[in-house]
Amino acid sequence: MIYLDNGATSFYKPQSVKQAVIKAMHQCASPGRGGYKAAQNAGKTVFRCRELAGALFDCLPDRVVFTSNCTHSLNMAIRTLVKPGDRVVVSGFEHNAVMRPLYALNAKIYIAGRELFDNKDTIRKFEYIVKQGVDAAVFTHCSNVFGYILPIKDMAVICRKYNVPFIIDCAQSAGVLPISMKELEADFIAMPGHKGLLGPQGTGLLLCSRLPEPLHFGGTGSQSALYEMPEYLPDRGEAGTLNVPGIAGLAAGISYILKTGTNQILLEERQAARAVGEFLGQNGFAVFLGEPQTGTVSFIPHTDCEHAASVLDRHGIAVRGGLHCAPLAHESVGTLDTGTVRLSFGVDSSEKQVFEVKKILKKVMNEL
């Protein structure tokens, strides 16, 4: 299978990730729940992952809260900053992991910047809305549908200038683009562990500059005589037993990223996406290519997008058709009615893979 659905989850993980999961299952009990060897092993395993995440994202290890996925992280961050009825500015490319929690809070949502690959427009409209007065900002680093990289540094500067607390959704960028918590000074940065960071599913991270409001309440292995959650990071956001095997695998994934470098990963994924995107464009499909873009590219097939995705599946290419849980992004670009077929390349992308994809596309072109 040629796997081009890395926007959903990475599938081909480094061998070291699988080995780390198995090792943890053999050697680790629950971290912080005892002084015996297996509990200590778990504590060390989890702390190593915090340190690696701190190294990759330029933050202290205790600022790294482990969650079960990026949606979990976003919910915790949004519930901390946004109160019912608050005014919140978002970009025009948000995923439902941002939009649904905001709707659930009955937030007044202002959408800033709906022009694909137009950073100037995004910045101008974002500042215009922030200047009017908002209670919080939530924006994605990168569109999960179109691979559009938003100007988050400029958006962060605007938020700080107007004292607006903000959350960055790095679901598609963690492990692919450089992210510095220190430089961005975001209140929270949310990310999955199982996409670009190459960890197992069931892992996520929330980088915190401030104490989050817990989503879950329960045991932390600390301050157990209190009925309130601890006022310390990371325990405040980590009630219940952690996913230690998952976190062990995530540490191996982050370690792989640190060794390879996000620049190299981005370069290869982007080259692959561009090559295939241009090929589709040359063959009469509407393809969304632009700058700045990651290794994710969408196109509109001549048939139904789900049908096109199933044709590709029959020929060994795994892609995702539809709305990709991001109706707002599709609405911004005008593809809400048709949906798109998304090809999102991963760390296994190569010239050989591109050659194979083009070969299959050529063969099934009339069915798409």
Chain positions contacting other proteins, by CB under 8 A: 31-32, 34-35, 40, 43-44, 47, 50-51, 60-62, 220-226, 230, 232-235
Q: Locate tokens 């605007």: which residue?
A: 158
Give me the least distance between CB of 96 and other proteins, in Å please.
32
Minimum CB distance to other proteins smaller for 61 or for 292? 61
- Alpha helix ranges (H) inside the chain: 15-27, 37-57, 70-81, 96-104, 119-132, 152-161, 181-184, 244-260, 262-282, 305-314, 327-333, 351-364
Give me the least distance between CB of 49 and other proteins, in Å please.
11
Give me the least distance between CB of 253 and other proteins, in Å please.
20
**What is the sign, positive or negative, of the torsion defined by CA atoms of 268, 270, 273, 277?**
negative
Give me the least distance between CB of 2 and other proteins, in Å please.
41
Minimum CB distance to other proteins smaller for 238 or for 269? 238
Minimum CB distance to other proteins smaller for 58 or for 115? 58
- Distance CA(86)–CA(105), nearest Å, equals 8
Q: Is 33 exposed, middle or buried (0-12, 13-18, 19+ CB in 10 A)?
A: middle
Minimum CB distance to other proteins smaller for 35 or for 133? 35
Give me the least distance between CB of 39 and other proteins, in Å please.
9
Q: Is 95 exposed, middle or buried (0-12, 13-18, 19+ CB in 10 A)?
A: buried
- Distance CA(184)–CA(154), nearest Å, equals 9
The answer to whether 131 and 83 are in contact (CB under 8 A) is no
Give me the least distance between CB of 320 and other proteins, in Å please.
37
Minimum CB distance to other proteins smaller for 39 or for 289? 39
Give me the least distance between CB of 174 and other proteins, in Å please.
21
Minimum CB distance to other proteins smaller for 196 or for 212? 212
SS3 165: coil
- What DSSP state is assigned to residue 32? T
Nearest Cα neighbor of 195 from 55, 1, 8 is: 8
- Distance CA(229)–CA(210), nearest Å, equals 15
Residue 20: CB atoms within 10 Å = 27
Query: Residue 22 CA to chain centroid, in angstroms?
Result: 25
Minimum CB distance to other proteins smaller for 151 or for 230? 230
- Cross-sheet strand order for the sheet of 108-112: 64-67, 204-208, 188-192, 166-169, 136-140, 87-91, 108-112
Minimum CB distance to other proteins smaller for 47 or for 128? 47
Minimum CB distance to other proteins smaller for 222 or for 264? 222
Give me the least distance between CB of 268 and other proteins, in Å please.
33
- Distance CA(187)–CA(210), nearest Å, equals 6
The pair phi, psi for residue 294, each rounded to 5°, is: -90, -155
Give me the least distance between CB of 225 and other proteins, in Å please.
3
